[in-house]
Amino acid sequence: MINERSIPSRRSGVLHYELVDEMVIYDAVTSQAASLNETARLIWELCDGTRTVDALSAELAQHFDMPVDEITASVREALERLCELRLVTV
């Protein structure tokens, strides 16, 4: 269960391909590929094992110049999806 104190990390060995503001990520172990829009890409890049979900949300909100409480739910949904795909661990 992801909460505000969880610290997400990208799984090692996952390949990524940049496409302007978007990204495609690929796990050769599971053969799983995923497309990330601009927001999801930023979330993925911020999952470096040093930030809590709260800190990640705050940074994203600053990037988009939005209130944190408007972005927190989206961040958690994205992280849950990345965890489902086993591309991020918490």
Q: Is residue 36 part of the contact set for other proteins (CB under 8 A)?
A: yes
- Is 66 near other proteins (CB under 8 A)? no
| Angle made by CA atoms 57, 59, 15, in degrees to the nearest 5 | 85
Kindly indicate which of the ranges 4-12, 15-23, 43-51, 74-82 contains the residues binding other proteins, using the contact rule CB under 8 A: 15-23
Beta carbon nearer to other proteins, 34 or 83: 34
Encoded tokens for 61? 């909100």
Rule CB under 8 A: say whether 19 interacts with other proteins. yes
Question: Which residues in the chain belong to E strands, given as ranges?
Answer: 9-10, 14-19, 22-27, 32-36, 88-89
| Interstrand relation of 22-27 and 14-19 (parallel, antiparallel or unpaired) | antiparallel
Interface residue list for other proteins (CB under 8 A): 15, 17-20, 22-24, 26, 28, 31, 33-37
